[in-house]
Amino acid sequence: MIKAEISDKMRNLRDGYSSALIELGHQNNDVVAVDADLALSTKTKRFGTVFPDRFFDFGIAEANMMSVAAGLATCGKVVFASTFAVFATGRCYDQIRQSIAYPELNVKIVATHAGISVGGDGASHQMLEDMALMRALPNMRVIAPADAIEVEEVIPAIAEQPGPFYVRMGRADAPVIFDKHRPFEIGTAVPLREGSDVAVIATGTMTAEALRAHDLLQQDDVDAKVIHMPTVKPVDADAVRHAAEETGCILTCEEHSVIGGLGDAVAAAMADRPVPLQRVAINDVFGESGEARALMEKYGLTADNIAMQARRLIELKQ
Amino acid sequence: MHDEALVLDLRRKALQIRKHVVDSVYRAGSGHPGGSLSVADVLACLYFHEMRHDPEQPGWPDRDRLVLSKGHAAPALYAALALAGYFPEEELKELRKTGHFLQGHPCMKKVTGVDMSTGSLGQGLSAGIGMALAGRLDNKDYRVFVILGDGEIDEGQVWEAASAASHHQLSNLVAILDRNGLQIDGHTEEILSLEPIKWRWRAFGWRVLTVDGHDVEEILSALHEANQNDKPTLIIAYTIKGKDVSFMEGTLSFHGKPPSDEQYVKAMTELEQLEEELYD
């Protein structure tokens, strides 16, 4: 078990990104960052302030930015390309496919403002299918960190591993759940709570909700296993299978469409040894404007709903 | 004036590229002969004179880079690479065959000497900008050449890149526009007019040179002139689609279609005759 608690301490994952990127920039002269006129929001601007020569803001021209990143990578640069998730993966799908994933170039796409918790900007900016798009690409690996501490470990880990990555983060501040930094292992599940009644597998900041759900379920004497799955591709299939065997039912949680994200990855991993599976995710609809927390509640991305779905699932199992 | 022997050699190389284009596309049973034939002279000038490269060290960090943004002209690029010694010419016969490394469009992972994977139009100039910026960051004096199709510049991303290249004053970047006037659905000016093409690029902050894209001496002069500049250069190479194969010249029908058995023989005969004339 890895120690994780819901703390009162809130931190923005983007702050973790910029601090890790700057640290990386000090260690490696080949680290370059590119952005598309959202450098203040993605916080790559901080890297640009420290390393002005190694930062390029290409303006509101994401497609160009993504292919330039590919070109830089062919010359040995470790390129971090950032913008909002909706533009990074939606607008630039073809650039990522043709110029980054196919030639397997060393571009790390670190996208922010993923998910419905973007809030007021509404559906046009609430990217809910980014993991689906990126998971479908050969050579691409997909990571959704749980908190700012984990982001600070993910960034150096993906820099060390050649080839493309997609890292997604939300806009909102999120509770810090990890008490300390641990080297990030790509593709390895992070067990957080032991339990035998149901396995709750969560990714991104939904992991904090899963921990809260664990406590709610415990009040009813339900023992939920909680697994944080930061790497959605390649998903830790062994961990999924073990969890299925140990608990007999699985609940996945993600701030993403029910199509193509963690839920599908987990379902595929246990398809040859199926147990009842339920998915807490956005149910194939676009989002809408609203306050972040209110939207999370409206779309069921809360500890309460996770606990409720877990109870249903346990009944189904019996 | 350029050295006569050099000019003759480059014209020969261009004809050899053309023969390989016709031969490999015929054997493959598919491919794009028209736009491969139009760009053969430009490729000959780049790989056999202008570019600093070494087939013995394809990953040489100081080498000049070439991005064939109009990736469907892969048969011409592969021919140039084979003639330069990156891989045996015999391999060209296996173009597009299952299991062979010569993919229908350039794949940098599989083909030695290919600097960038291309095929989806409009992305190569951006990739070239990345290479040029990396060269600047590393204090290297290599140059980056990007070959664009004229139909290709319909793509909006090309214009995003055109802005970015001039914004960053990338004097180490040279784009060559294969202005053969035709795209799949018709004449470029009928489908989506590009003119006044020279002024468009100048307005985007580029230096623009124009050449007869089949005149080796003009191409060499322009490539040399592009070297002495403080901004990116576009060389508009006016070319003929299907150049040097009489029944392919200026036609749309051989954009993406191989020659028939009969046409293959006729095309090869014509190209061999042109080659013989060079030796007279």
Q: Does A64 touch chain B (CB under 8 A)?
A: yes
Give the pTM.
0.97
* A49/A196 same-domain check: no
What's the longest Cα–Cα distance across chain B?
Answer: 53
Distant-in-sequence, close-in-space partners of B45: CB < 8 Å, separation ≥ 6: B10, B216, B219, B220, B223
Q: Is residue A3 part of a domain?
A: no
pLDDT exceeds 70 at position B142? yes
Q: Under an 8 A CB cutoff, do A61 and B160 touch? A: yes
* A43/A154 same-domain check: yes
User: Do A262 and A252 contact (CB within 8 A), yes or no?
Assistant: yes
- The model's pLDDT over B98-122, given as tens digits with 9 standing for 90+, comes to 999 999 999 999 999 999 999 999 9
Q: Does A59 touch chain B (CB under 8 A)?
A: yes
Structure confidence at residue B1 as a pLDDT band (50, 70, 90):
low
Domains present along chain B, CATH in parentheses: 4-279 (3.40.50.970)
Name the minimum distance, in Å, from the CA of B135 to any CA of chain A: 8
Q: How far apart are CA B179 and CA A118, in angstroms?
A: 46
* A80/A199 same-domain check: no
In total, how many domains does chain A have? Answer: 2
- The model's pLDDT over B206-220, given as tens digits with 9 standing for 90+, comes to 999 999 999 999 999
Identify all chain A residues contacting B134, using CB atoms and an 8 Å cutoff: 32, 71-72, 74-77
* A171/A194 same-domain check: no
* A159/A201 same-domain check: no
- The model's pLDDT over A31-48, given as tens digits with 9 standing for 90+, comes to 999 999 999 999 999 999
Pick from B13, B70, B86: nearest CA to B78: B86
Name the minimum distance, in Å, from the CA of A111 to any CA of chain B: 20
Q: Which of B125, B160, B167, B173 to mutate to test the interface with A (most CBs of A within 10 A)?
A: B160
Name the minimum distance, in Å, from the CA of A154 to any CA of chain B: 25
Distant-in-sequence, close-in-space partners of B81: CB < 8 Å, separation ≥ 6: B47, B55, B87, B111, B112, B113, B114
pLDDT exceeds 90 at position A7? no
Please give the pLDDT value at position A317: 86
Q: Does A268 touch chain B (CB under 8 A)?
A: no
Q: Under an 8 A CB cutoff, do B137 and A63 touch? A: no
Q: What CATH number should be reported for the domain holding residue A139?
A: 3.40.50.970
Q: Is residue A5 part of a domain?
A: no
Q: Does B120 touch chain A (CB under 8 A)?
A: yes
Identify all chain B residues contacting A67, using CB atoms and an 8 Å cutoff: 123-124, 126-127, 130, 157, 161
Across the interface, of B130, B156, B163, the residue whose CB is closest to A72 is: B130
> Which residues span the domain enclosing A299?
190-317
* A164/A239 same-domain check: no
Last-in-domain residue among A126, A149, A175: A175
pLDDT exceeds 90 at position A127? yes
Mean pLDDT of B131-145: 98
> Considering only alpha carbons, which residue of chain B is nearest residue A102?
B117
Tokens of A290: 């609203």
Q: Does B107 touch chain A (CB under 8 A)?
A: yes
Pick from B264, B202, B266: nearest CA to B236: B202
Catalytic residue check, A288: no
> Considering only alpha carbons, which residue of chain B is nearest residue A95?
B123
Last-in-domain residue among A147, A175, A203: A175
Tokens of A283: 């149910």
Please give the pLDDT value at position B272: 97
Q: How far apart are CA A44 and CA A30, in angstroms?
A: 16
* A80/A201 same-domain check: no
Name the minimum distance, in Å, from the CA of B24 to any CA of chain A: 24
* A34/A168 same-domain check: yes
Last-in-domain residue among A126, A145, A175: A175
Structure confidence at residue B228 as a pLDDT band (50, 70, 90):
confident
Quote the mean pLDDT of chain B: 97
Name the minimum distance, in Å, from the CA of A30 to any CA of chain B: 9
Q: Does A73 touch chain B (CB under 8 A)?
A: yes
Q: Is residue A212 part of a domain?
A: yes
Please provide the DSSP assignment of A45-58 as one string.
HHHHHH-GGGEEE-
Q: Does A69 touch chain B (CB under 8 A)?
A: yes
Name the minimum distance, in Å, from the CA of A257 to any CA of chain B: 28
Please give the pLDDT value at position B193: 96
Q: Where are the beta strands (DSSP E) in A136-206?
A: 141-143, 165-168, 173-175, 190-193, 198-202
* A44/A150 same-domain check: yes
Across the interface, of B107, B127, B135, the residue whose CB is closest to A67 is: B127
pLDDT exceeds 90 at position B230? no
Q: Is residue A145 part of a domain?
A: yes
* A149/A89 same-domain check: yes
Please give the pLDDT value at position B136: 97
- The model's pLDDT over A162-176, given as tens digits with 9 standing for 90+, comes to 999 999 999 999 999
Across the interface, of A63, A68, A97, the residue whose CB is closest to B130 is: A68
Q: What CATH number should be reported for the domain holding residue A253?
A: 3.40.50.920
Please give the pLDDT value at position A180: 87
Identify the burial level of B279 via C-beta atoms within 10 angstroms of its C-beta, where 0-12 means exposed, 13-18 middle and 19 or more buried.
exposed
Quote the mean pLDDT of chain A: 97
Q: Does A137 touch chain B (CB under 8 A)?
A: no
Q: Does A97 touch chain B (CB under 8 A)?
A: yes
pLDDT exceeds 80 at position B258? yes
Q: Under an 8 A CB cutoff, do A75 and B138 touch? A: yes
Q: Is residue A210 part of a domain?
A: yes
> Considering only alpha carbons, which residue of chain A is nearest residue B162?
A64
The number of C-beta contacts closer than 8 angstroms across A and B is: 110
Q: Which of B70, B112, B117 to mutate to test the interface with A (most CBs of A within 10 A)?
A: B117
Q: Does B64 touch chain A (CB under 8 A)?
A: no
* A161/A65 same-domain check: yes
Identify all chain B residues contacting A52, using CB atoms and an 8 Å cutoff: none
Mean pLDDT of A236-258: 98
Q: Does B135 touch chain A (CB under 8 A)?
A: yes
Across the interface, of B115, B124, B164, the residue whose CB is closest to A58 is: B164
Q: How far apart are CA B82 and CA B94, in angstroms?
A: 13
- The model's pLDDT over A55-64, given as tens digits with 9 standing for 90+, comes to 999 999 999 9
Identify all chain B residues contacting A61, using CB atoms and an 8 Å cutoff: 157, 160, 163-164
Q: Does B129 touch chain A (CB under 8 A)?
A: yes
* A133/A260 same-domain check: no
The catalytically annotated residue of A62, A150, A152, A255 is: A62
Q: How far apart are CA B214 and CA B14, in angstroms?
A: 9
- The model's pLDDT over B233-247, given as tens digits with 9 standing for 90+, comes to 999 999 999 999 999
Predicted complex ipTM: 0.97
Q: Is residue A240 part of a domain?
A: yes
CA B163 to chain centre: 22
Whole-number CA gyration radius for chain A: 19
Q: Does B141 touch chain A (CB under 8 A)?
A: no
Q: Which of A55, A68, A77, A139 to mutate to test the interface with B (most CBs of B within 10 A)?
A: A68
Q: Under an 8 A CB cutoff, do B117 and A63 touch? A: no
